[in-house]
Amino acid sequence: MDQSDIPPSASSPSDNYWDHDPESERGSSSPGSVRGVVKELLETAIFILLVFFIVRGIVQNFKIEGSSMEPSLHSGQYILVNKIVYFHFDINAPLRLLPGQEDLSPRPVYPFQQPQRGDVIVFEYPRDVSKDYIKRVIGLPGDTVEFRDGSVYINGFLLDESYLTSNEITYCNAGSACDSGKIVVPKGKIFVMGDNRLNSSDSREWDTLPMDRIIGQAWVLYYPVQDWGVIPHHSYAADQ
């Protein structure tokens, strides 16, 4: 037989198998791969939200509005507030669930520290808790606060307030909460004032601040960038 009479050989089954591409028939995105991408995106979103709420529970940003803390802090500056430093819980809270113990007085415990004299704090304004204020702690629970000759006395000792501008006078307006003479700070409260004594709505006007209204301690000034730095908290010679 002449070679030209030989029919061409048919392709083998194995050749057809290797030319077959199942992925091209199903498409590039299978349901399984789509579910995997969606799951990964959800896990990432949940992680980001978790981190956000944890950080939000520890640190909070705050914009200073007004001049009540000048010259220490100025209007328009942004700070971070440390909320964990004054974390506390009421050890008597579970006991008040028991019959006959409903009127048990609170007994707060501060694992880290209580507010200290000289601390700059951010808190809910007692007369309108929707507003946040920033002031300096002057009197602690049990302290006697007195104003004499334009100066502040704590427990009979003159308070050395080097953070005030020179010749700054601290006075008490007639009819204000501090006009009664010596003020004894009640338990569970503190006495706060702004560093700009001539332009500050503080405990002289609306009385002492309940400690459960405190949001946290002013920690870091982060904007404007040129003002960046840790916010100093004053210590007094009388407390040493």
* Residue positions annotated with a catalytic role: 68, 135
31 C-beta neighbours (distance < 10 Å), count: 9
**Tokens found for residue 67:** 């001049």
Q: How far is CA 213 from CA 51, 88, 110, 132, 157, in A?
A: 25, 12, 15, 10, 28
| Contact status, residue 219 vs residue 82, Cβ threshold 8 Å | yes
Alpha carbons 78 and 96: distance in angstroms, whole number: 40
State the Cα angle at 72 between 212 and 62, rounded to 5°: 50
In the 3-class helix/strand/coil scheme, how is 87-101 assigned residue by residue? CCEECCCHHHHCCCC
Alpha carbons 111 and 88: distance in angstroms, whole number: 7
